[in-house]
Amino acid sequence: MRTTVTIDDELAAKAEELLIDHELRQPQRHPVVGESRVAIAPDEALNAMLSTQAV
């Protein structure tokens, strides 16, 4: 029996394909290592990193 695919399904499949393609092109833009986002400004984040080991 032939399976009928609605246009919406086709679009959804295409969108998923594009999404996968996008992620493959940029596989590590936001790598899953600990918290992937920060809520503080970059200079504050960097200063925090640099001062982590400060005595």
Q: Is 7 in the site for other proteins (CB under 8 A)?
A: no
Which of the residues 11 through 50 are near other proteins (CB under 8 A)?
26-31, 33-38, 41-43, 45-47, 49-50
DSSP three-state, residue 11: helix
* 45: Cβ contacts below 8 Å, ≥ 6 apart: 38
Q: List the helix and strand counts (H, then E) for the chain.
A: 2, 0
- What's the min distance (Å) between Cβ of 2 and other proteins? 42
- Which residues contact other proteins (rule: CB under 8 A)? 26-31, 33-38, 41-43, 45-47, 49-50, 52-55
